[in-house]
A and B are shown apart, each in its own frame.
Chain A
Amino acid sequence: DGGITQSPKYLFRKEGQNVTLSCEQNLNHDAMYWYRQDPGQGLRLIYYSQIVNDFQKGDIAEGYSVSREKKESFPLTVTSAQKNPTAFYLCASSIQDRAEAFFGQGTRLTVV
């Protein structure tokens, strides 16, 4: 069953802790993206990667980090430096630049 999978679906974190969100795809897509979705803010780009071992900062990268060691995986770490981490996070992939993006089901992160 091909697709893009995010885990976990719900995540709770204590203030001051780092947490890593998983994103895996078996679509053989080169490009992968992380977005943050807040009410009234739409989707804001955190990081993106067009190729393995390379990634670029998006509009709101501060307090986040990523890695792209494998084509199928693009984990996002929300660090303690992120001042307002409670949000819904979406991962996406596309076969190439300017192509349709396929989205995961999202991870809802809550800082308690």
Chain B
Amino acid sequence: AQRVTQPEKLLSVFKGAPVELKCNYSYSGSPELFWYVQYSRQRLQLLLRHISRESIKGFTADLNKGETSFHLKKPFAQEEDSAMYYCALSGGPRGRDDKIIFGKGTRLHILP
């Protein structure tokens, strides 16, 4: 069964410190992995996806198939990074059965 696990409900980090939000997944095939972010009073939006290998707002995430992880990292936290972060997986057979599954989310709180 497809499953996304985010072990931390809340992560508090001081401004300027490194950030790592953990995400582990369970999937038998080759999934697409995403990180979505929800800032206060804004829509949920895509932050980055593993296939693009981009750095967005200083964040990066590497897919580790051996450990089935897709942790989100940023070397120096900024106050505007405070938000709710969701790891997501898209998988299933191509076509009608494909779906997007989300983890429970981690609230990142950047301390001044």
Interface band, chain B: 20 to 34
- The total of Cβ contacts below 8 Å across the A-B interface reads 63
Q: Summarize A's interface: helix, strand, loop or mixed.
A: strand
A41-B104, A42-B104 known; A100 and B96 CB under 8 Å?
Answer: no
Within 8 A of A (CB), among B60-109: 86, 88, 90-92, 94-105
Contact A101 B100 (CB under 8 A): yes
Contact A97 B90 (CB under 8 A): yes
Size of the chain A interface, CB-CB below 8 angstroms: 28
A35-B102, A40-B104, A42-B103 known; A97 and B46 CB under 8 Å?
Answer: no
Chain B residue at smallest Cβ distance from A3: B43
Within the complex, which residue of B32, B36, B45, B99 is in contact with A48, where a contact is CB–CB below 8 Å?
B99
User: A residues within 8 Å of B by Cβ?
Assistant: 31, 33, 35, 40-45, 48, 50-51, 54, 56, 58-59, 90, 92, 94, 97-101, 103-106
Complex Cα spacing A40 to B104, Å: 6
Complex Cα spacing A98 to B49, Å: 10
A40-B9, A50-B96, A90-B44 known; A100 and B101 CB under 8 Å?
Answer: no
Q: Closest approach, in angstroms, between the C-beta of A26 and any C-beta of chain B?
A: 16
B34 within 8 Å of A by Cβ? Answer: yes
Contact B104 A33 (CB under 8 A): no
Within the complex, which residue of A40, A41, A51, A104 is in contact with B43, where a contact is CB–CB below 8 Å?
A104
Complex Cα spacing A39 to B34, Å: 21
Contact B96 A43 (CB under 8 A): no
